[in-house]
Amino acid sequence: MSVETATDDEQLRLLGPIVAVTALALAAVVLVGAGQVKVFWWLLMLAVAAPAVVELALEWRRRRAAQPATSSAGGRTRHRTASAVDDTPVAPPATPPVPPLPAAPAQFAVPAEEVTQQRPRVVAPSVPHAAGDPRSDRILERSRLSASTEITAVQIPKSTSDLSTCEDAVDADDSGLVVAVSDGASSAFMSRAWARILVAGFVEQPPAPTLDSLHEWTVRMSERWGQIASDATGERGTEEWWNQASTDRGSSATILGLRLVPTGSGFRWSAIAIGDTIVAQVRSNPQDGGVALIRSFPIEGADTFDATPELLPTTATLDVAELPALRFTEGTAEPGDSLLVMTDALAQWALRSEAEGRAPWTWLLGATGTELEALVSAGRSDGTLVDDDVTLVRVSALQPAIDPAALR
């Protein structure tokens, strides 16, 4: 399972043929010279079979290694994946052990019909549940480890849909320092595509936190959406009046864009927000093991969520004045702090839990996708959590291996 094992396999595969050819050449000279032609033929057949034997041995070894090996305490097991794009290390969820990944982790890719030249980037690596798992369309977990941050994302679609129609979108850049989450409005046309364009566009080039910059950025994003919408509509646009009307009307979504700057020990962060997707900064207390809320942005209380959040529309392109209220904030995170980005249903649940003295943060930081799905299902049943797409993204600064303070 380790990278080293893979390298050993390659060497063994090369060794087989080299030994076989050399031995055969020697045998030919010695045995044919001595008149033992029959023995030479036996040796030849053995040599031909040898690579297959080596392959069998390797397969046996792989199977042994694939037994659920408990990862060493505190150690981060590195999974080698089958996918070409998935060759960066990922942290596996605690339970259950993750089987080998399918070749194309396309869960987050934009469906083919929504793709044009500006295909939004697919975040790799992803750790979807194995095919055949009944929950594979109910939970999506992804994680990314970069030099300075660890980002984990969990998505659970609303009970009446599945991941393929989930209107929440997440993206992060390779450095792990730019993260964006968007919640496409359920009542809007092609809002899943708009949410994906917004997060991919933010990660590609975040707008400055000014209305002018946001406006210029929105115009570019809107062009991408318009292209995708008109491609998807095709000839239906003229035959079915509602398609052209819907495309003209446009779409809308929330956006929460996060940027981090490592400071050696912790990091500085800034966020822009339109709508009710929030980021909560939480702090672990090493003394009692508790996790406390430092602040949440742009919504601070569970009562502030309503049915009419601010949304960024595709149509806000003519004038800066058309843009909804843009919120901006900055903060400093200490070592051990985490940022939790949540779409409205989970955000409201978390802030209400906090207000009622049942701080949810330790649980949210540690929950696996399966655990979060169980919580969301229960909350939907008893009315404590709105039945909507749920996204939870956890961003933690990694502790430097050597404390910079110790070097001073």
Partner 1 sequence: MSDDDTRVRPAEYSSRVDREHPACLIFLLDQSDSMRDPLGGDAQRPKHVALAETLNGLLYEIVLRSVKSPQEGPRPYFAVAVVGYQTDRQGTPIVSTALGPPLDEHDIVWTPDLAKHPLRVERKQTGSGRGEVATPIWIEPVAGGGTPMMAAFDRAGLIAKSWIDSYPESFPPIVINITDGESTDGDPAGLAERLRNLRSSDGAALVFNLGLSEVIARPVLFPNDPGALPNVHAQALFHMSSPLPGFMLDAARSQGFEVAPGARGFGFNADLRAVVTFLNVGTAVGRTLR
Summarize as ranges the residues that interact with partner 1 (CB under 8 A).
113, 158, 160, 183, 185-187, 189-191, 229, 232-234, 236-237, 240-246, 248-249, 306-309, 344, 352-353, 356, 358, 360, 363, 375, 378-379, 382-384, 386-388
Q: Which is nearer to partner 1, 269 or 305 (CB)?
A: 305
At 370, which amino acid appears?
T
Nearest-approach distance from CB 201 to partner 1, in angstroms: 21
CB atoms within 10 A of CB 133: 13
The answer for 250, left when phi > 0, alpha when psi is -120 to 50, beta otherwise, is left
Nearest-approach distance from CB 47 to partner 1, in angstroms: 58
Q: Which is nearer to partner 1, 126 or 370 (CB)?
A: 370
Q: Which is nearer to partner 1, 206 or 275 (CB)?
A: 275
- Measured CA to CA, the distance from residue 46 to residue 384 in angstroms comes to 70
Q: Which is nearer to partner 1, 101 or 367 (CB)?
A: 367
Q: Which is nearer to partner 1, 237 or 257 (CB)?
A: 237
Q: How many helices (H) and strands (E) does the chain have?
A: 11, 14
Q: Which is nearer to partner 1, 101 or 188 (CB)?
A: 188
Nearest-approach distance from CB 354 to partner 1, in angstroms: 12
- Measured CA to CA, the distance from residue 380 to residue 374 in angstroms comes to 10
- Measured CA to CA, the distance from residue 144 to residue 136 in angstroms comes to 20
Tokens 């903060």 belong to residue: 331
Among 386, 377, 347, 385, CA closest to 364: 347
DSSP character at residue 120: P
DSSP character at residue 288: T
Nearest-approach distance from CB 187 to partner 1, in angstroms: 6
Nearest-approach distance from CB 159 to partner 1, in angstroms: 9
- Measured CA to CA, the distance from residue 295 to residue 282 in angstroms comes to 7
Q: Which is nearer to partner 1, 159 or 210 (CB)?
A: 159
CA 204 from chain centre, in angstroms, equals: 16
Q: Which residues of 184-206 are buried (b: 16+ CB within 10 A; e: fewer)?
A: bbeebbbbbbbbbbbbbbbbbeb
Counting Cα atoms < 13 Å in the Cβ hemisphere of 169 gives 34
- Determine the straight-line distance between the first and last CA of the chain, rounded to whole angstroms: 39
Nearest-approach distance from CB 388 to partner 1, in angstroms: 7
Q: Which is nearer to partner 1, 181 or 397 (CB)?
A: 181
Nearest-approach distance from CB 216 to partner 1, in angstroms: 21
Nearest-approach distance from CB 373 to partner 1, in angstroms: 13
Sign of CA dihedral 94, 98, 104, 107: negative
- Measured CA to CA, the distance from residue 262 to residue 406 in angstroms comes to 17
Q: Which is nearer to partner 1, 92 or 379 (CB)?
A: 379
The 3-state DSSP class for residue 104 equals: coil
Inter-CA distances, 2 with 56, 71, 78, 322, 344, Å: 19, 12, 7, 53, 40
Nearest-approach distance from CB 94 to partner 1, in angstroms: 19
- Measured CA to CA, the distance from residue 157 to residue 50 in angstroms comes to 52
Nearest-approach distance from CB 269 to partner 1, in angstroms: 27
Nearest-approach distance from CB 140 to partner 1, in angstroms: 20
Q: Which is nearer to partner 1, 321 or 405 (CB)?
A: 321
Q: Which is nearer to partner 1, 126 or 254 (CB)?
A: 254
